[in-house]
Chains A and B, each alone.
Chain A
């Protein structure tokens, strides 16, 4: 057998392989023999190959069957991350939230917050029960006193329903007033007020989580903004007061300005005049001409 370089070699190898597999499949001896070697037992080799293939087929069918299904669709799903989040465990639900929205960062925090709110609700309920227990005690004492009073033979006779009602109300009032001043009541009320506040704050935290997800400004953000506005207004007021520099009554100019302000008593105009602010910002020279700083008299405003 002569080997030629290039494509002849490949063609030769392909033909040999084709012949070999074909002969095995047909149970025939191979069409060639390596020089110097005995020819293989073609039947034995064919049988071995067939049994091997049968066993492998049976094995894979069994294995795939146990897996439920195993086809192209199954293979795709197996390696598709989209499918991983379909599991029903809490962890995977969390993972789903993690991948789907901005709640990821608060996912486990929310669980903790919910538990905390439940605990605070229980605290609040407990404190409310304690509070009502104290209040109920006062009503019970009032009833005992009233019963004693009604049955007191030394007491003034009660001759009308209204007298009886008035006695009951006076007795109840005394018991309730005593109770309201007692340490027990004040502590119960304090605890209930505190736990109600804590519950409400925790509830707000959860509501804020919802707001964040849905692009709604939170209470905290609003509070911060309002704080900033309040502080800015405070600063503006302080600056205006410094600038206005109210003059004393003795200054005639002040009286004239005051008279002008009185005429313009409509609220908005008054507001501007009182604040020393005109709608149009004057030029530096004009501002100085009209500025109260030019009025005589001592500076009166204290810097706040």
Chain B
């Protein structure tokens, strides 16, 4: 028997536990929803089409990078992750360096959006945002910064419109959707396993029943990757953070972002799950949008590929698969410590991510 608990120590531990609970309770009671704000960097709407809104962030420093940067998040989750809080914000870090930054907000999909396809998002909405920035700035090209699924969007757009893209920065972006599945640690790559465990008509029926891919379902699948953390975060996790206001607010901001997971439009979800996760068509050079194959070789602009070494959703090999597929030699990889979301929100990565992207943009935009 390994348990060697001294009764006196147990009483002390219980006393400390009770004290912490009381302090935490007092802190929780005075914390209101208005105290937990995310994505607070000032920005203004400059273009809108259907539910898609293009924002331009207010400059906080003299412009040092000539080409504006358009940040593109995916449809799974929301762009607010890149601006979670003042001291953990890629957005603020880039603005502080003098980057002219835009971001696309895809809005919150409802049943009426079930027929929207990846073509609608990539060629349609994203294309119109790029064209708007080009026209507004009187410029030929825009730099794209894609995050996760948004990285796939920007890569496909750049391949189809190389003359409109100055540089391409991909972060935590899957390219080979099957890569790294076997050799990855046990808790990595579950999304791919889940997607491939379904038959194509299972996905069709799931979408038929719900219209879209429910955000709650994706949240559940994500939670399966860290099951005990998902089960204990509102008791043990909260308990660990509740005696420190800063830690508590960080915890609550993250929860706010996690809870804001919109449904993924149905037809686009079918393409995402079947064409990419199941059939891996992008890396095979067979992924078609609007009847035209996406040829990654046409990506001839400078590319920065940022991935997380401990990414349990997109294994590093999945992102690194891009290198031999593109048509430029100006290709840079930037592995960062941390997990999928941690790269953007962890305190450790804040000094690295923004600075590295800025330095690369300065040289290539």
Contacts and interface: CB of A to CB of B under 8 A. Distances in A.
A38 interface: no
A226 to B, nearest CB: 5
A223 B267 CA distance: 12
Contacts of A149: 2
A271 B48 contact: yes
Contacts of B328: none
Interface stretch (B39-47, B74-82, B241-249): B39-47
Contact of B209 (A153, A162, A200, A233): A200
A257 B138 CA distance: 9
A159 B232 CA distance: 22
B208 A201 contact: yes
B2 A230 contact: no
Interface in B32-59: 44-50
Interface stretch (B197-205, B295-303, B318-326, B333-341): B197-205
Contacts of A160: 5, 9-10, 13
Contacts of B205: 194, 197-198, 201
Interface stretch (A56-64, A171-179, A209-217): A171-179
Contacts of A180: 190, 224-225, 227
B115 interface: yes
A188 to B, nearest CB: 10
Contact of B135 (A170, A229, A234, A261): A261
B198 A193 contact: yes
Interface stretch (A8-16, A41-49, A91-99, A247-255): A247-255
A164 B9 CA distance: 14
B211 to A, nearest CB: 7
A290 to B, nearest CB: 15
Interface stretch (B86-94, B117-125, B352-360): B117-125
B197 A173 contact: no
A205 B228 CA distance: 39
B48 A270 contact: yes
Contacts of B137: 249, 258
A109 interface: no
Q: Give the interface SS of chain A, mostly helix, strand, loop or mixed.
A: helix
Contacts of B26: none
Given A201-B209, A230-B116, A249-B139, A267 B48 contact: yes
B183 interface: no
B62 interface: no
Interface string A161-190: 110110001101110111011000011011
Given A150-B2, A254-B138, A173 B164 contact: no
A44 B240 CA distance: 121
B190 A246 contact: no
A35 B292 CA distance: 116
A158 B124 contact: no
A151 interface: yes
A160 B16 CA distance: 12
Nearest to A188: B197
A193 B120 CA distance: 28
A152 B115 contact: no
Nearest to B160: A302
Contacts of A189: 194, 197
Contact of B124 (A222, A229, A234): A234
A159 B193 contact: no
B240 to A, nearest CB: 10
Contact of A150 (B3, B112, B119, B134): B3
Contact of B50 (A164, A165, A233, A257): A233
B97 interface: no
A22 B303 CA distance: 126
A173 B228 contact: yes
Contacts of B202: 190, 193-194, 197
A146 B140 CA distance: 63
Contacts of A169: 228, 232, 236
Contacts of B120: 230, 234
Nearest to B133: A258
Nearest to A233: B50
Nearest to A297: B140
A152 B3 CA distance: 10
A226 B115 contact: yes
A262 interface: yes
Contact of A237 (B14, B128, B132, B160): B128
B138 A258 contact: yes
Contacts of B131: 241, 244, 246, 274, 300-301
Given A150-B1, A190-B197, A159 B115 contact: no
A187 B9 CA distance: 47
B46, B113, B228: most-surrounded residue (chain A CB, <10 A): B228
Interface string B223-243: 011111100100010000000
Given A231-B115, A274-B47, A304-B119, A156 B186 contact: no
A126 interface: no
B115 A227 contact: yes
A152 B2 contact: yes
Given A150-B3, A227-B115, A249-B140, A178 B124 contact: no
B161 to A, nearest CB: 7
A177 to B, nearest CB: 5
B121 to A, nearest CB: 11
Contacts of A152: 2
Contact of B114 (A223, A234, A244): A223
A285 interface: no
22 contacts: A157-B4, A158-B2, A159-B5, A161-B10, A161-B14, A172-B228, A177-B186, A180-B190, A197-B205, A230-B113, A230-B116, A234-B124, A237-B128, A246-B135, A249-B134, A249-B137, A258-B135, A258-B138, A259-B138, A262-B136, A267-B45, A274-B135
3 residue pairs, one from A and one from B, having the closest CB atoms: A186-B197, A255-B138, A173-B228
Given A249-B140, A254-B135, 16 more contacts: A160-B5, A160-B13, A161-B10, A174-B186, A186-B197, A189-B197, A190-B197, A198-B209, A201-B208, A227-B115, A233-B50, A234-B124, A255-B138, A271-B49, A274-B131, A304-B119
